[in-house]
Amino acid sequence: MNKKKKNSEELPFHDASKDFELALQETDQGTYVLRLYVSGMTPNSLRAIENIRTICAEHLEGRYQLEIIDIYQQPIFAKEGQIVAAPTLVKELPPPLRKFIGDLSNTERILLGLDVRTKR
């Protein structure tokens, strides 16, 4: 009798699509980590602060952390974050990292860039 040995390197087939679906679901319900870099209390900076707070309140309620950093007061953070213009919004999480420059007044563009699905 010739018994076949099971190769120890053979692994059972793993269907990654279920893992992918789970990751998508977690991203949809996950927390957004946002950093807004501003340059003092200029009109453009104040508009950006107001706009991102409105976007977060309307579309990310309870699912976001927003940190506002004044690069005049803390210039080291601008260098570390590779910020070349202000205001700049940085989406740290969920991946991918994205940066938006300006007063964030184009809400649809920001929502699209944040991968936020609007309610229909």
Extract long-range pairs of 39-48: CB within 8 Å, 24+ residues apart.
Answer: 39/70, 39/71, 39/72, 39/86, 39/87, 40/70, 40/72, 44/87, 44/102, 44/103, 45/86, 45/87, 47/103, 47/104, 47/105, 48/87, 48/89, 48/102, 48/103, 48/104
At residue 116, the pLDDT reads 85
* SS3 assignment, position 95: coil
Structure-token pair, residue 50: 């107001």
Average pLDDT over residues 101-116: 93
CATH of domain 32-114: 3.40.30.10
Q: What was the pLDDT predicted at 49?
A: 97
* Digit-coded pLDDT (tens) for 25-69: 555 557 999 999 999 999 999 999 999 999 999 999 999 999 999
